[in-house]
Chain A
Amino acid sequence: MTAALGLALDAALCALILGVALAVVAGRGVFRAVVFFIVYGLLAAVAWVRLDAVNVALAEAAIGAGLTGVLLLAAHGRLRRAEAAQDLAHGMPWSAALAGGALAAALGWAWFEMPIPVEPGPELAEALPRAGVGNPVTAVLLNFRAWDTLLESIVLLAALIGVWMLAREGDWREPLGRPQHARPGGVMAGFGRVLPPVGLLVGVWLVWAGADHPGGAFQGGTVLAAVGLVAVLAGVIRPPWIGAPLWQGALVLGPAVFLLAGIAGAVLAGGFLTLPEGFAKPAIVTIEVALTVSIAVTLAFLVLGPPEAEGAG
């Protein structure tokens, strides 16, 4: 009975996700596609929970339903103001459909070809007690495969520098993004004061819980970035300019602490990024906290975009 109901639940979820995905690409109208894409991210988060991948579900909820939605809606608003949001002419954009279909087919083929992984992996189960943390995802990300995570944190920084390249020379010393304003005491300004404290609490909890439960630096950092953005959009806090020393420090704090820990591992323990068994837990928590700060600030700055002074298109 329970198994049949679980199957029915999965079938309903799959039907909804497929329907929404079709609506994103098949329906006409850019705005409709954007809203369907936000819904798609939301349903994908539910699907990840169904697959027992709560870590991924957290990231999907924060990125898919939170940050991407704001980014796409802002882009659509800007296109409409520039009167560039012309819908495609009737008929199918065949080349795009073909490319998308080919990619989906290739991914499907790869999925069927791959061997089914042995979960959770006997090597991981054996090594986990030595990792210092109970959450296997955190153990892999920050201990066993720390090299990947270090490079990813640097990639995020490189992406931000790429976005800043788009700034015009004259705007360089202006605050990031467009100057945001809201009616003082209005609904939006009030929202910008109510949501961030709650989000701060949830974000810090996710980072702390990440050691032994689902959560972690990326999930917590994304939540912090999202509520920080709400405060900025509501005009409660003003974004800094690119050269503000404190904020630049926050951007490099995570990769810097990570690198230092790696070098310390090379000197004191077996090699670069090797965490000695006794110090693994405090080292991982320190790296996670530093990474959270950097990820939160980097993601928020990425969504805000390059500085644009008043009157820019």
Chain B
Amino acid sequence: MTAWLSFVAIGVLASLAGALWRVWRGPAPADRMMAAQLVGTGGVAVLILLAAVQDWAALDVAVALALLAALAAVGFVKAGTPDGAGDPEEEAPPADMQLSAMTPDAAAQVGRTRRDPDRRRGDG
């Protein structure tokens, strides 16, 4: 059983190499960040397997990692907003502009400008 679990852990680790290739390649910052999140998910899987192989206390590490890996994603979307403190779901100027109060054309316009940052190649 232990051998089998170790074997699966090696397999999961090997699959992480694919995610790492995506972090290297990009091209958009969001691609790299999502790949890092994938590594986080794989890391949690490896830790759960190691917990079964070695020491169940390692399960706490898996829980902490699962909880905190998402923090980087929050930091990433924050840093991508114009003032670095916003939310991509907000309208472009944080002053209370509501989508519902606009004409459909204006709303579509806001939608387009909001999507623009995702397409930017960044520095990567």
Contact = CB atoms under 8 A, between A and B. Distances in A.
Interface of A: 1-2, 5-6, 8-9, 12-13, 16, 19-20, 23, 27, 29-32, 35-36, 38-39, 42-43, 45-46, 49-50, 52, 54, 57-58, 61-62, 65-67, 69-71, 73-74, 76-78, 80-81, 85, 87, 178-183, 186-189, 191, 195, 198-199, 202, 205-206, 209, 213-215, 219, 223, 226-227, 229-230, 233-235
B87 A186 contact: yes
B23 A36 contact: yes
B124 A31 contact: yes
B20 interface: yes
B123 A73 contact: no
A187 B124 CA distance: 26
A32 B24 contact: yes
Contacts of A178: 83-85
Contacts of A87: 123
A77 B70 CA distance: 18
A65 B69 contact: yes
Contact of A230 (B51, B64, B71): B71
Contacts, number: 205
A234 B123 CA distance: 26
Residues of A contacting B: mostly: helix
Interface string B1-37: 0110011011001101100100110100100110110
A49 B10 contact: no
A66 B85 contact: no
B68 A62 contact: yes
A294 B56 CA distance: 29
A62 B68 CA distance: 7
Contact of A181 (B24, B39, B87): B87
Nearest to A220: B64
